[in-house]
Amino acid sequence: MDNNLRVQHGITRKEPFYIQVNGEQIAAYPGETVAAALLAAGWHMFRHTALSGEPRGMFCGMGLCFDCLITLNGHPNVRACVTFAQPGDIIERQI
Amino acid sequence: MADSTPSPLTIVGAGPAGIMAAYSAAKAGVDVTIIDDNPLPGGQYYRQSPSEFAFTNPLDGKSGRDDSMDVLEKLNHPKIRLINTTLVWGVFDDRSLALADNDQSMLLLSDKIILATGAYDRPLAFPGWTLPGISGAGATLRLLKTQWVLPGKRILLAGLGPLQLALADALLKAGAKVVCVAEAANPFNHVKDVPKFWGHWDRLSEAWTYTTALCNHHVPLLFNHAIIEASGHDQVESAKIARLDAQGLPIPGTERQFEVDAICLGYGLLPSFQLAAALGCELRFDELLSWYVPIHNDHMETSRPGIFVAGDVTDIAGSKVALLEGQIAGLTAAYQLEYINKSELERQLAPAFAELRRLNRLASALQSIYRFRSGLNGLAKEDTLLCRCEEITYSQAKQALENGATDLHQLKLRSRAGMGYCQGRFCSVLLAPLVAQITGKPVSSIRPFTVRPPIQPIPLKVLATGVSQIINQ
């Protein structure tokens, strides 16, 4: 598992679990937001916009800008930056 | 209908200002309700890592600030009720705050209200600024210090002010490569402000530590430079910076390009004044910030009696000022509720006012050195988005203004700019200078968008459950 983007020094995480992102399995640790798990797996792009189709990712990181929207377990327009990942979550990149 | 006894004091926001306001009032005997939209209190300054993470140094999980344990501990006062994971989405019947958690909506009638709603990263519009991998400096600090995840492997920082240095230091400590720090100000042009730093040795030593860390890692720290362009396919791949002239406009021929996979934008903070505006509190245009803040008197009371502001929502001056302003607001509310008398209030506030004056001298120097220069509003090209949510470009906004829109409200109706999810938080500050430019009015006369409920989008299912009154006991 490529954990290069997760800080390791001085911190101990619990056992990771898996979430599914566009059909691909990625690891997430208990306490991580969906955005953090996606970024740690190297996914900067969370969705394409409805009008021009341009790519978007996490911008404000505190739940205000709504740019990091994903579809989570069938529910659209979920903010990845303020939503904690749960084992078995199914995430789809939103159009 | 449940009990409709009002909450004597409701505080919105559990950051330093909200916590100190709650503690000061609770100690005086007031029953305090504090509402926060995060799962854990502390706000942005005293941000806490999730309880699932364990730390060799427990302070790392509580923002790393020396006083964080003391500050967070204050919420354990028996007269403080903390309601977390709950946002305030509107105001009805003058003093009823509409709250929503993940499942239901509630009304909380309140006698006194203290707004400690904080601030958020100021956006800067330049070609490519919406690319994934570009986020706010505050966003990155939060990601790093609560989630312990780096935004990328080659990071460029561009912005204004000392937060950038703190972020660069944190990123370097976490093992990231910082390719450049582009600082739009030039502190060396502000010799007259130097005396204001006298006595603030802690802050100077902090700045020295950060600057030394940059030198040791061979990170270029370029003053008078700003980001002017980002490019990439599905995410940011390169960043272009340039030197700025006196107005803050990029000087042609001074561009430098960096290969990056992340960019942090730290062009200062904007106050989250939406709830204050919804409550009818008067806003003023701050020249150094080039945006609006709620007005308040010495006791942190707004233009509306019994409604207070404290912390970054009104004076973007850091956690220490926020703690003091919270204390002043909390004690004054306790006085108005007749828990303490006038002489007791004055006795308790005297040291707070003195310390606040000392800190504000430094804050005013920093605000002047790192003021937002108007040239930074001129980086957008014709096809650069100004409204991210509704995808309205600079030229579309300009067209709407040339077709007759004369203020932000008309611009919104004609172009849809400001109608999206963020409710105009990010685009308003980018559109206002354009409105000023096309209409020939000073930017200080361009009013922000009218705030309407819901102040933040909430799922309809939350409203559909009906509104239950919170029982006050």
Q: Which residue type sits at B4?
A: S
Whether A33 and B139 lie within 8 Å, measured CB to CB: no
The answer to whether residue A23 sits within a structural domain is yes
How many beta carbons lie within 10 A of that of residue B49, not counting itself? Answer: 19
In chain A, the residue whose alpha carbon lies closest to the alpha carbon of B231 is A55
In chain B, the residue whose alpha carbon lies closest to the alpha carbon of A32 is B147
Fold of B7-120+270-367: FAD/NAD(P)-binding domain (3.50.50)
Question: What's the average model confidence in pLDDT over B445-468?
Answer: 87
Domain of A62 in residue numbering reads as 17-92
Residues of chain A contacting residue B389, judged by C-beta atoms under 8 Å apart: 66
Whether B261 and A55 lie within 8 Å, measured CB to CB: no
Residue B96 has pLDDT above 80, yes or no: yes
Whether A57 and B37 lie within 8 Å, measured CB to CB: no
Nearest to B53 among A9, A13, A39 (CB): A13
Residues of chain B contacting residue A82, judged by C-beta atoms under 8 Å apart: 38
The answer to whether residue A27 sits within a structural domain is yes
Looking at residue A1, what is its pLDDT?
43
Looking at residue B471, what is its pLDDT?
53
The whole-angstrom separation of Cα B149 and Cα B142 is 9
State the nearest Cα–Cα gap between A13 and chain B, in angstroms: 5
As for how many domains chain A has, the answer is 1
Decide yes or no: CATH 3.60.110.10 for domain B379-441.
Answer: no
- Residue listed under structure tokens 């006595």: B199
Whether A65 and B426 lie within 8 Å, measured CB to CB: yes
Question: What's the average model confidence in pLDDT over A36-54?
Answer: 94
Helix (H) or strand (E) holding A4: none
Residue A94 has pLDDT above 80, yes or no: no
The answer to whether residue A8 sits within a structural domain is no
State the nearest Cα–Cα gap between B412 and chain A, in angstroms: 17
Q: Where are the domains of chain B?
A: 7-120+270-367, 124-266, 379-441
Q: What is the mean pLDDT of chain B?
A: 94
pLDDT tens-digit map of B410-420? 999 999 999 99
The answer to whether residue A4 sits within a structural domain is no
The answer to whether residue A3 sits within a structural domain is no
The whole-angstrom separation of Cα B78 and Cα B65 is 25
Residues of chain A contacting residue B49, judged by C-beta atoms under 8 Å apart: 31
Query: With bands split at pLDDT 50, 70 and 90, how would you rate the model's confidence at B1?
Result: very low
Query: A38 or B199, which is more confident?
Result: A38
Nearest to B130 among A14, A29, A56 (CB): A56
pLDDT tens-digit map of B38-91? 999 999 999 999 999 999 999 999 999 999 999 999 999 999 999 999 999 999
The answer to whether residue A11 sits within a structural domain is no
Looking at residue B473, what is its pLDDT?
44
Looking at residue B204, what is its pLDDT?
81
Question: What's the average model confidence in pLDDT over B167-192?
Answer: 91
Question: What's the average model confidence in pLDDT over A48-75?
Answer: 95
Looking at residue B273, what is its pLDDT?
97
* Residue B350 structure tokens: 């005297």
Looking at residue B2, what is its pLDDT?
45
Query: With bands split at pLDDT 50, 70 and 90, how would you rate the model's confidence at B470?
Result: low
Contact B270, B303 (CB under 8 A): no
Question: What's the average model confidence in pLDDT over B429-449?
Answer: 97
Residue A2 has pLDDT above 60, yes or no: no
Nearest to A49 among B55, B391, B425 (CB): B391
CATH code, domain carrying A80: 3.10.20.440
pLDDT tens-digit map of B338-395? 999 999 999 999 999 999 999 999 888 888 999 999 999 999 999 999 999 999 999 9
Looking at residue B441, what is its pLDDT?
97
For B339, list phi and psi in degrees, rounded to 5: -90, -25
State the nearest Cα–Cα gap between A66 and chain B, in angstroms: 6
Q: How many residues does chain B have?
A: 473
Does this chain's domain B124-266 share its CATH topology with B379-441? no
State the nearest Cα–Cα gap between B262 and chain A, in angstroms: 9
Whether A49 and B235 lie within 8 Å, measured CB to CB: no
Fold of B124-266: FAD/NAD(P)-binding domain (3.50.50)
In chain A, the residue whose alpha carbon lies closest to the alpha carbon of B131 is A56
State the nearest Cα–Cα gap between A20 and chain B, in angstroms: 19
Looking at residue B242, what is its pLDDT?
98
Looking at residue B464, what is its pLDDT?
81
pLDDT tens-digit map of B97-110? 999 998 889 999 99
State the nearest Cα–Cα gap between A65 and chain B, in angstroms: 5
The answer to whether residue A47 sits within a structural domain is yes
Residues of chain B contacting residue A66, judged by C-beta atoms under 8 Å apart: 389, 420-422, 457
Nearest to B143 among A29, A31, A36 (CB): A36
Question: Coil, strand, or helix at residue B443?
Answer: helix
Residue B294 has pLDDT above 80, yes or no: yes
Contact B171, B145 (CB under 8 A): no
Exposed, middle or buried: residue B382 (CB in 10 Å: 0-12, 13-18, 19+)? exposed
- Which residues of B118-232 form beta strands (DSSP E)? 119-121, 134-136, 154-159, 177-183, 221-223, 225-231
Question: What's the average model confidence in pLDDT over A5-33?
Answer: 96
The answer to whether residue A46 sits within a structural domain is yes
Whether A6 and B51 lie within 8 Å, measured CB to CB: no
Residues of chain B contacting residue A13, judged by C-beta atoms under 8 Å apart: 52-54
Whether B49 and A33 lie within 8 Å, measured CB to CB: no
| Vertex A82 angle, CA B136 and B325, to 5° | 65
In chain A, the residue whose alpha carbon lies closest to the alpha carbon of B140 is A61
The whole-angstrom separation of Cα B406 and Cα B76 is 51
| Vertex B423 angle, CA B419 and B428, to 5° | 85
In chain B, the residue whose alpha carbon lies closest to the alpha carbon of A47 is B132
| DSSP single-letter state for residue B128 | T
Which range, of A3-7, B116-120, B391-395, averages the lowest pLDDT?
A3-7
Residue A93 has pLDDT above 70, yes or no: yes
**Among candidates B374, B158, B357, which has minimal Cα distance to B268?**
B158
Residue B421 has pLDDT above 90, yes or no: yes
Which range, of A14-28, B2-16, B270-284, B317-331, averages the lowest pLDDT?
B2-16
pLDDT tens-digit map of B214-258? 999 999 999 999 999 999 999 999 999 999 999 999 999 999 999
Q: Are strands A17-21 and A90-92 parallel, antiparallel or unpaired?
A: parallel
Q: At what angle do helices B319-336 and B16-27 cross, to 10 degrees?
A: 30
